[in-house]
Amino acid sequence: MSGRTQTLVHAKILLVDDNANGVAARKSVLQELGYRITTASCGATALEQFCAHRFDLVITDYKMPRMDGLELISRLRKQAPEVPIILISGFTDTLGLNEESTGADAVLQKSNNEVSHLLRAVNRLLRKKLLKKSPSGESASPRAKSKGA
């Protein structure tokens, strides 16, 4: 496994949703792929987790009590604007939720195809983040190449 692929697989993801069934299902699928998942059942707990640990990506539901996903995204952006965020909602069309209106890097509709859309978005955003860390797009170990020089 290349260093880049390994970094993607071992990424730390914060998963936020007040629906225990939704969290369990998403967590299970993401853990099967090797991602390290921390969960939070509300925005306040998510902010505590986010301040205490480093995450490579955040996935949040839109509709939650006390603090909805939009407020959570706004607060997370103030702390770490570079961390990719995915917003999931059953109301994307009804409320006109999109990347521009929410501040999320991806907005996904809850549906029968949610898992495949979620996995594609997670992989795309983590790759994009990894490429930003390595602007030249070279492999993670430039020292290995220059040892012989």
Question: Does the structure show a pLDDT above 50 at 3?
Answer: no
pLDDT in tens, 93-116: 889 999 999 999 999 999 988 999
**Residue extents of the structural domains in the chain:** 3-140
Residue type, 44: A
Question: Does the structure show a pLDDT above 60 at 30?
Answer: yes
**Non-local CB neighbours of 67 within 8 Å, separated by 6+ positions:** 42, 43, 44
- Predicted confidence at residue 8, as pLDDT, reads 64
Secondary-structure class of domain 3-140 per CATH: alpha beta
CA distance 108 to 123: 14
